[in-house]
Amino acid sequence: MKRICITFCLSLVLLFTMSQNCLAQEPAFQEVSVDEAGSAENLQTEQAEVELADGTYLIGITLEGGTGRATVTSPAKMTVADRRGTVSIEWSSPNYDYMKLGDVIYEPVNTDGNSVFELPVMALDEPVEVIADTTAMSQPHEITYTILLDSSTIKEAESGHSISPAIIAAGCAVLIVVVAVLILYRRKRKNHETV
């Protein structure tokens, strides 16, 4: 009986450890406040070549300009394909209805929650001027911001491969049934020996 309990406990610990290692953890995001003091010199107008393999990455982003109340989520998701990057900009507000990068207007990629835009990566480690239109005021206003993508913060995003909670629950249920069968078998065997 003691061995069965030890086996059961070790199996639960192993199952718990496997589930924690396999479940994709969300990266820790932080809000980056607007710094009004920044200036936008050497602004880029063409999409930059990104020296990374195709894939999804996280990159730190700095936002400057505006009134100082808006923030964006950092790190931001950056997708690279054919040496060209696209960065997801998530605002701290759902009230941004478009962004401009040069002469191109970008619509939000979501309909619920805070406004999210996917913009081409124009430069790493250099300021890029963007315009964001906010509807939070009595009338829509275009506000000029500068974003800077910090290449020293780039890291691969987690793959997202995970074990669903249903599979974990099924594994636990099977484990409990196996342990219960072992316990019953052992009891039955003891009863046969005493008879």
Fold of 30-156: Immunoglobulin-like (2.60.40)
Structure tokens at 82: 């054919």
H/E run at residue 80:
strand 76-81
Domain ranges of the chain: 2-23+162-194, 30-156
Q: How far apart are CA 60 and CA 28, in angstroms?
A: 12
- Quote the CA–CA distance of 180 and 128 in Å, as a whole number: 63
Counting DSSP H helices and E strands in the chain, the numbers are: 2, 10
CA angle in degrees (0–180, nearest 5) for 182-185-186: 85
Tell me: pLDDT of 39 over 50: no
- Residue whose structure tokens are 């589930």: 19
Cα separation, 36 vs 81, in Å, equals 33
- Distance in angstroms between the alpha carbons of the first and the last residue of the chain: 19
**pLDDT at res. 22:** 47
Kindly report, residue by residue over 59-85, the tens digit of the pLDDT.
Answer: 999 999 888 888 999 999 999 999 899
Taking the model in full, what pTM does it have?
0.59
pLDDT tens digits for range 95-131: 999 999 988 999 999 999 999 999 999 999 999 999 9
Identify the helix (H) or strand (E) that includes residue 194: helix 165-194
pLDDT band at 30, cuts 50/70/90?
A: very low
The mean per-residue pLDDT over the stretch 17-36 comes to 43
- The strand pairing partners of 116, in sequence order, are 90
- CA gap 151, 84 in Å, rounded: 14
Looking at every residue in the chain, the average pLDDT score rounds to 78
pLDDT tens-digit series, residues 130-182: 999 998 888 888 999 999 999 999 999 876 555 566 677 777 777 787 877 77
- Residue carrying the six token digits 């060209």: 84
